[in-house]
């Protein structure tokens, strides 16, 4: 059944009460959630969340949601796609069918047909417990295997790289040892040769001495010879030195630590090692080719193998702490070369086994998660709706017998019959012993919420308005006008036929492919653009229209409606060539008619183009601004008439119209009059200034030669001086009318109310007895309805049922008056941003076209043309269509929020937030 909604004013609301049997409460809330047209009131505000009746059920749902998010996290890590649809139970999943047809299902989507059984919430809880334990165990085992695999890979790399260090050092040591051995042999050979030569010479000298009779003995020769050997033979010194060096090496033996570290931390690691040990370490590094998986986190990073040589236990402790601080992994490394090879072989064998085990574990885990993924969307929907159901039931009050629940909520008047029908169906399906009572109750003293039913087209504009504030109940909705004015003001600043066509094509693509795009993951920025696709579509269409008005396509003038209205002077002899008269006397018009549509393209490229367009767009901005602000003031009239607030009509609306219309409405009239008057050269700046400096003296009488008129061209119509005097008088009178009468009348009303009135019998709906009139008839006679004053503009300070403070009311009215008077001037000036941004957009487009594309084309080089086109395209898409469109959007937003809506829109209403299951489908955004 279709419900007729009025977008101009919010839907009329009723406060309803439901007395629900306890056994039917759950099904009733589910059914109402499927309808989505009841916003329940919290009748247990004085209780904390833990004291409410169904707090345990909410905790239970939170725990199930935690487990579902746990599954989602592991699926994202495993790269498993979650099906954004409801599982049908036939694909090996754990869940059953889900039917979105509300008329054949209950609030969970469980079919009433017993042939298709669907998993219940209790069964789901048990299933989630089992699956979460299984997935946790599988994930823990997989993580343990992955970590072991990563450590073995790093250990193998350490064995290879560090083994290279030690092999190189061993080769160098062997080479040095061979050199020392050869040198020692050479020294021994030289010593032996020296000994033999010395012995032979000594023997000859002894023979000679004995032959000469000098005396001698063999013992002396032997003693001398031994003494020489002791002094000159090097063998004993070498052995002694070797023994002493061996003792030193044994007492100061070097230790070493090996491991891996992130390559980006190597330099800091090296500096800290040097400073901590005062340079008493030796560090060797070797980069690992390619990425290496970090065992602790599983991330792929670049790593480096390190070997730190040190001396002493104290240095070792410092190095270990530094390695821990840099998250550097340490691995054992044997000194024995044979043991190194054996350890490397064992590591390779274990890696093969571990890799196969890890792959099998990952496959098993992924199979389990894939089964869960088929029904995860359904499970999220089921649990989220269950949680919302119990949240709503926590708002109900329970009678003393605990046999029924009492609920109150707001629902649209037009949907009351539908809600009543849904309550009856839910009660019948729950097989309750008694029926549910559904009735309207009085909402006197309570502010109903604001509810608009929107479509895909109007929803984005409603969100733009509600970003400023929610409308009051039954207040005029700015969205109706915003649907047209917002994209139009955007187009005024962004108007270009070419840019509009590109944006229009992009918007049409998003609209036509909205189903496919919505099913894919989107970034935050593109998601906002996609949700505003209908607004972008309308903005692009208006941009194409204003581009035709401006006669610009990528800053190039279009000649759709002819070349120009103006031609060269026929008497100019150069009319067929250079037309020199266009720089002196100017071009002449073909006839008295205007250019068929938009701006005449002949202005483009001339010296007078900028002054002409500045004057045109500035005046156009003033006309648009004054018109929109005047519409806003008349919107406030509709609110005042609806509330019966005649006091605000007389003391606010009328003086506001007089003030704004007298100043800027008169300026707008002069702008239009100047446009339609041939040959008019009046200076509107001068006219408005002299309107205040010399009231009534329009043509500057007495300032010309001989006391004549100094500016006769400023007199645009007869009686202009008298009209300006009348306008000035009206503007000066409007200010005190806005300021003083309303507070004084409100004070009088309050005094009359306190004095009391007559007594009348109450209506039968209000009970028996008498009530005292609060002088409502007298108040109406004064120009307003006291019962509606709280909803009028600016009347909710100091009157109504609360304490009246005349000073507060007067100050508030003074602020309101000053804000309007100053705002009338500043807001009108604010609309000049339409002119400024339109001019900036056109000039930027012209610069990119001339300096990037046309300069490249004029060069004649193919390469320059390609490069120039690329630069122009990038600038057009990035700057003009990206940054400029965003700038125009924000300025149009400000014009609506500040300049337009502040004339009538309060924005302090309460948004209607019903229990609605359609928004609780699938995963929440934080889980996805």
Question: Model confidence over 780-812: pLDDT tens digits?
Answer: 433 444 344 444 444 444 444 457 788 899 999
**Do 813 and 839 have their domain in common?**
yes
Last residue of a domain, one of 333, 350, 366: 333
User: What does the alpha-carbon distance between residue 468 and residue 459 come to, in Å, rounded to a whole number?
Assistant: 15
Residue 387, pLDDT above cutoff 80:
yes
User: What does the alpha-carbon distance between residue 216 and residue 207 come to, in Å, rounded to a whole number?
Assistant: 9
Confidence of residue 198 (pLDDT cuts 50, 70, 90): low
Kindly report the CATH number assigned to the domain that includes residue 431: 3.30.70.120
Residue 234 or residue 473, greater confidence: 473
Q: Residue 772, SS3?
A: strand
**Do 443 and 460 have their domain in common?**
no
Mean pLDDT of the chain, nearest integer? 81
**Do 414 and 275 have their domain in common?**
no
Residue 567, pLDDT above cutoff 80:
no
CA-to-CA dists, residue 726 to 649, 656, 671, 712, angstroms: 22, 16, 19, 21
781 domain residue, yes or no: no
314 domain residue, yes or no: yes
Confidence of residue 336 (pLDDT cuts 50, 70, 90): confident
- Sequence-ordered strand ranges (E) for 53-124: none
Find residue 275's DSSP bridge partners.
none
Q: Residue 65, SS3?
A: helix
Q: What is the DSSP string of 439-501?
A: EEE--TTSPPPB-----HHHHHHHHHHHTT-BPPTTPBPTHHHHHHHHHHHHHHHH--HHHHH
Confidence of residue 93 (pLDDT cuts 50, 70, 90): low
Contact (Cβ atoms closer than 8 angstroms) between residue 567 and residue 588? yes
The pLDDT assigned to 488 comes to 96
In which element (H, E) is residue 842 found?
A: helix 833-848
The pLDDT assigned to 898 comes to 93
CA-to-CA dists, residue 672 to 386, 616, 657, 677, angstroms: 63, 11, 19, 9
Q: What is the dihedral of CA 859, 864, 866, 870, to 10 degrees?
A: -110
User: What does the alpha-carbon distance between residue 405 and residue 395 come to, in Å, rounded to a whole number?
Assistant: 10
User: What does the alpha-carbon distance between residue 56 and residue 859 come to, in Å, rounded to a whole number?
Assistant: 78
Confidence of residue 111 (pLDDT cuts 50, 70, 90): very low
**Do 444 and 474 have their domain in common?**
no
Q: What is the DSSP string of 196-216?
A: HHHHHHHHHHHHHHHHTT---
What's the maximum distance between 2 C-alpha atoms anywhere in the chain?
Answer: 175
The least confident of 157-166, 460-469, 572-581, 871-880 is 572-581
**Do 620 and 504 have their domain in common?**
yes
Residue 238, pLDDT above cutoff 90:
no
Question: What average pLDDT does this structure show over 7-14?
Answer: 91
**Do 921 and 849 have their domain in common?**
no
pLDDT, tens only, 598-642: 888 877 777 778 888 889 999 999 999 999 999 999 999 999 999
User: What does the alpha-carbon distance between residue 148 and residue 472 come to, in Å, rounded to a whole number?
Assistant: 64
The pLDDT assigned to 344 comes to 83
Q: State the sign of the Cα–Cα–Cα–Cα dihedral 895, 899, 904, 909.
A: positive
Rounded to 5°, angle at Cα 146 from 141 and 149 = 125
Question: What average pLDDT does this structure show over 839-861?
Answer: 90
Nearest to 464 by CA among 901, 928, 163, 43: 901
The pLDDT assigned to 787 comes to 40
The owner of tokens 């609301």 is 13
pTM of the predicted structure, to 2 decimals: 0.74
**Do 623 and 677 have their domain in common?**
yes
430 domain residue, yes or no: yes
Q: Which two tokens stand for residue 381?
A: 């929907």
DSSP code, position 763: P
Residue 832 or residue 697, greater confidence: 832
User: What does the alpha-carbon distance between residue 258 and residue 629 come to, in Å, rounded to a whole number?
Assistant: 77
Please list, residue by residue across 674-697, b when 16 or more beta carbons sit within 10 angstroms of its beta carbon and e when fewer do: beeeeeeebebeebbebbeeeeeb
Between helices 22-35 and 337-393, what is the axis angle to 10°?
A: 100
Nearest to 437 by CA among 15, 19, 28, 16: 19
Q: How many domains does the chain have?
A: 3
Residue 317, pLDDT above cutoff 70:
yes
Last residue of a domain, one of 333, 354, 377: 333
Nearest to 427 by CA among 845, 26, 851, 906: 26
Question: What average pLDDT does this structure show over 257-273?
Answer: 90
The pLDDT assigned to 3 comes to 40
13 domain residue, yes or no: yes
User: What does the alpha-carbon distance between residue 785 and residue 809 come to, in Å, rounded to a whole number?
Assistant: 17
**Do 477 and 599 have their domain in common?**
yes
Contact (Cβ atoms closer than 8 angstroms) between residue 714 and residue 700? yes
Nearest to 691 by CA among 734, 654, 732: 732
Residues 6+ apart with CB under 8 A from 272: 322, 325, 326
Last residue of a domain, one of 311, 333, 355: 333
The pLDDT assigned to 791 comes to 43
The least confident of 150-164, 322-336, 562-576 is 562-576
417 domain residue, yes or no: yes
In which element (H, E) is residue 307 found?
A: strand 303-310
Secondary structure of 579-618 as H, E, C letters: CHHHHCCCCEECCCCCCCCCCCHHHCCCCCHHHHHHHHHH
The pLDDT assigned to 196 comes to 62
pLDDT, tens only, 433-483: 888 999 999 888 889 999 999 988 899 999 999 999 999 999 999 999 999
Question: What average pLDDT does this structure show over 752-769?
Answer: 54
Secondary structure of 711-751 as H, E, C letters: CHHHCCCCCHHHHHHHHHHHHHHHHHHHHCHHHHHHHHHHH
Residue 594, pLDDT above cutoff 70:
yes
User: What does the alpha-carbon distance between residue 461 and residue 470 come to, in Å, rounded to a whole number?
Assistant: 13
218 domain residue, yes or no: no
Confidence of residue 866 (pLDDT cuts 50, 70, 90): very high
Contact (Cβ atoms closer than 8 angstroms) between residue 917 and residue 100? no
The least confident of 114-123, 139-148, 603-612 is 114-123
**Do 326 and 418 have their domain in common?**
no
**Do 434 and 521 have their domain in common?**
no
The least confident of 10-19, 220-229, 675-684, 763-772 is 220-229
Residue 923 φ/ψ, nearest 5 degrees: -85, 145
User: What does the alpha-carbon distance between residue 479 and residue 489 come to, in Å, rounded to a whole number?
Assistant: 15
Percent above pLDDT 70 for the chain: 81
Q: What is the DSSP string of 769-785?
A: SEEE--SHHHHHHTT--
Find residue 770's DSSP bridge partners.
761
Q: What is the DSSP string of 793-841?
A: TT--SS-SSS---HHHHHHHHHHHHHHHHHHHHHHHHHTTHHHHHHHHH
CA-to-CA dists, residue 474 to 60, 293, 343, 655, angstroms: 40, 63, 83, 25
The Cβ of residue 351 has, within 10 Å, a number of other Cβ atoms equal to 16
Residues 6+ apart with CB under 8 A from 694: 700
The least confident of 151-165, 370-384, 763-777 is 763-777
Residue 203, pLDDT above cutoff 60:
no
pLDDT, tens only, 704-742: 777 777 888 888 889 999 999 999 999 999 999 999 999
In which element (H, E) is residue 154 found?
A: helix 121-211
Residue 204, pLDDT above cutoff 60:
no
The owner of tokens 């061979």 is 178
Question: What average pLDDT does this structure show over 328-339?
Answer: 84
The Cβ of residue 41 has, within 10 Å, a number of other Cβ atoms equal to 16
Confidence of residue 169 (pLDDT cuts 50, 70, 90): low
The pLDDT assigned to 282 comes to 87
Contact (Cβ atoms closer than 8 angstroms) between residue 281 and residue 271? no
Q: Residue 810, SS3?
A: helix
**Do 322 and 404 have their domain in common?**
no
Nearest to 625 by CA among 836, 470, 799, 391: 836
User: What does the alpha-carbon distance between residue 128 and residue 67 come to, in Å, rounded to a whole number?
Assistant: 7
Q: Which two tokens stand for residue 623?
A: 């006309």
173 domain residue, yes or no: no
Percent above pLDDT 90 for the chain: 42
Kindly report the CATH number assigned to the domain that includes residue 324: 3.30.70.3450
The pLDDT assigned to 55 comes to 92
Question: What average pLDDT does this structure show over 136-155?
Answer: 88
Q: Which stretches of 513-665 are DSSP H helices? A: 514-518, 524-531, 533-550, 609-643, 646-648, 654-660
CA-to-CA dists, residue 653 to 179, 454, 632, 659, angstroms: 111, 30, 11, 10
The pLDDT assigned to 187 comes to 74
The pLDDT assigned to 529 comes to 92
522 domain residue, yes or no: yes
DSSP code, position 255: E
Residues 6+ apart with CB under 8 A from 254: 309, 310, 311
User: What does the alpha-carbon distance between residue 134 and residue 910 come to, in Å, rounded to a whole number?
Assistant: 47
**Residue 301 domain boundaries:** 255-333
**Do 430 and 488 have their domain in common?**
no
């Amino acid at each position: 059944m279709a419900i007729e909604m009025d977008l101009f004013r919010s839907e009329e609301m009723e406060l309803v009460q439901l007395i629900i049997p306890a056994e039917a409460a759950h099904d009733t809330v589910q059914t109402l959630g499927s309808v989505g047209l009841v916003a329940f009131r919290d009748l247990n505000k004085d209780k904390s969340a833990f004291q409410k009746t169904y707090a345990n059920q909410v905790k239970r749902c939170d725990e199930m949601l935690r487990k579902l998010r746990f599954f989602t996290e592991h699926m994202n890590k495993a790269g498993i796609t979650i099906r954004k649809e409801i599982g049908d139970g036939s694909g090996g999943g754990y869940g059953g069918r889900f039917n979105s047809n509300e008329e054949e299902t209950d609030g969970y989507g469980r079919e009433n047909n017993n042939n298709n059984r669907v998993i219940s919430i209790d069964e789901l809880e048990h299933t989630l417990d089992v699956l979460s334990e299984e997935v946790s165990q599988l994930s823990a085992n997989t993580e343990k295997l992955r970590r072991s695999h990563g450590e073995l890979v790093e250990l193998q790399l350490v064995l290879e790289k560090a083994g290279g260090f030690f092999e190189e050092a061993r080769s160098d040591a062997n080479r040095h040892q061979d050199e020392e051995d050869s040198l020692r042999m050479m020294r021994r050979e030289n010593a032996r040769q020296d000994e033999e030569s010395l012995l032979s010479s000594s023997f000859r000298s002894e023979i000679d001495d004995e032959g000469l009779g000098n005396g001698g003995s063999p013992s002396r020769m032997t003693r001398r010879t031994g003494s020489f050997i002791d002094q000159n033979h090097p063998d004993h010194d070498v052995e002694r030195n070797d023994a002493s060096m061996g003792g030193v090496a044994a007492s100061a033996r070097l230790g070493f630590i090996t491991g891996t570290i992130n390559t980006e931390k190597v330099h800091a690691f090296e500096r800290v090692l040097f400073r901590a040990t005062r340079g008493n370490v030796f560090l060797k590094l070797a980069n690992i080719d390619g990425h290496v998986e970090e065992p602790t986190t599983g991330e792929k990073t670049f790593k480096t193998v390190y070997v730190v040589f040190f001396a002493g236990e104290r240095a070792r402790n410092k190095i270990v702490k530094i390695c821990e601080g840099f998250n550097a992994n340490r691995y054992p490394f044997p000194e024995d070369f044979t043991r190194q090879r054996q350890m490397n072989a064992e590591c390779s064998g274990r890696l093969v086994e571990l890799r196969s085990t890890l792959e099998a574990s990952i496959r098993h885990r992924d199979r389990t998660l894939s089964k869960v993924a088929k029904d995860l969307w359904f499970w999220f929907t089921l649990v989220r709706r269950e949680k919302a159901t119990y949240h709503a039931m926590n708002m109900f009050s329970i009678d003393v017998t605990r046999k029924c629940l009492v609920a109150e909520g707001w629902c649209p008047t037009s949907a009351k019959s539908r809600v009543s029908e849904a309550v009856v169906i839910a009660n019948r399906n729950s097989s309750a012993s008694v029926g549910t009572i559904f009735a309207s109750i009085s909402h006197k003293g309570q502010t109903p919420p604001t509810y608009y039913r929107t479509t895909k087209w109007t929803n984005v504009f409603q969100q733009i308005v509600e970003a400023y504030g929610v409308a009051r109940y039954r207040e005029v909705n700015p969205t109706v006008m915003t649907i047209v004015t917002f994209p139009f003001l955007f187009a005024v600043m962004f108007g270009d036929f070419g840019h509009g066509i590109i944006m229009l094509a992009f918007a049409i693509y998003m609209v036509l492919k909205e189903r496919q795009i919505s099913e894919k993951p989107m970034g935050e920025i593109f998601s906002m653009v996609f949700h505003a696709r209908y607004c972008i579509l309308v903005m692009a269409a208006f941009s194409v229209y204003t581009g035709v008005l401006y006669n610009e396509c990528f800053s190039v003038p279009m000649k759709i409606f002819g070349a120009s209205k103006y031609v060269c002077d026929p008497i100019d002899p150069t009319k067929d060539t250079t037309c020199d008269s266009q720089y002196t006397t100017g071009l002449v018009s073909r006839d008295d008619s205007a250019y068929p549509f938009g701006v005449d393209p002949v202005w483009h490229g001339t010296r007078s183009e900028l002054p002409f367009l500045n004057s045109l767009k500035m005046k156009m901005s003033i006309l648009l601004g004054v018109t929109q602000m005047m519409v806003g003031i008349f919107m406030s009239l509709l609110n005042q008439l609806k509330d019966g607030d005649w006091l605000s009509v007389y003391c606010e609306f009328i003086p506001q119209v007089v003030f704004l219309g007298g100043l800027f409405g008169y300026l707008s009239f002069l702008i239009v009059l100047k446009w339609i008057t041939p040959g008019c050269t009046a200076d509107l700046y001068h006219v408005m200034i002299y309107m205040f400096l010399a009231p009534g003296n329009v043509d500057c009488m007495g300032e010309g030669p001989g006391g004549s008129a100094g500016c006769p061209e400023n007199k645009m119509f007869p009686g202009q001086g008298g009209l300006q005097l009348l306008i000035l008088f009206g503007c000066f009178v409007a200010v005190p009318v806005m300021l003083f009468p309303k507070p004084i009348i409100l004070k009088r009303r309050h005094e009359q109310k306190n004095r009391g009135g007559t007594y009348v019998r109450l209506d039968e709906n209000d009970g028996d007895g008498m009530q005292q009139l609060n002088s409502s008839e007298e108040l109406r006679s004064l120009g307003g309805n006291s019962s509606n004053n709280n909803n009028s503009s600016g009347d909710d300070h100091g009157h109504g049922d609360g304490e009246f403070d005349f000073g507060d009311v007067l100050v508030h009215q003074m602020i309101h008056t000053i804000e309007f008077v100053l705002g009338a001037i500043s807001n009108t000036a604010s609309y000049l941003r339409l002119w400024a941004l339109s001019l900036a957009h056109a000039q930027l487009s012209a610069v990119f076209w001339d300096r990037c594309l046309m300069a490249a084309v004029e060069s004649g080089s193919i390469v320059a043309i390609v490069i120039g086109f690329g630069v122009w395209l990038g600038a057009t898409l990035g700057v003009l269509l990206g940054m400029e469109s965003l700038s125009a959007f924000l300025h149009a937003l400000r014009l609506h929020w500040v300049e337009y809506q502040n004339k009538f829109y309060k924005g302090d209403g309460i948004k209607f937030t019903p229990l609605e299951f359609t928004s609780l489908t699938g995963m929440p955004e934080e889980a996805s």
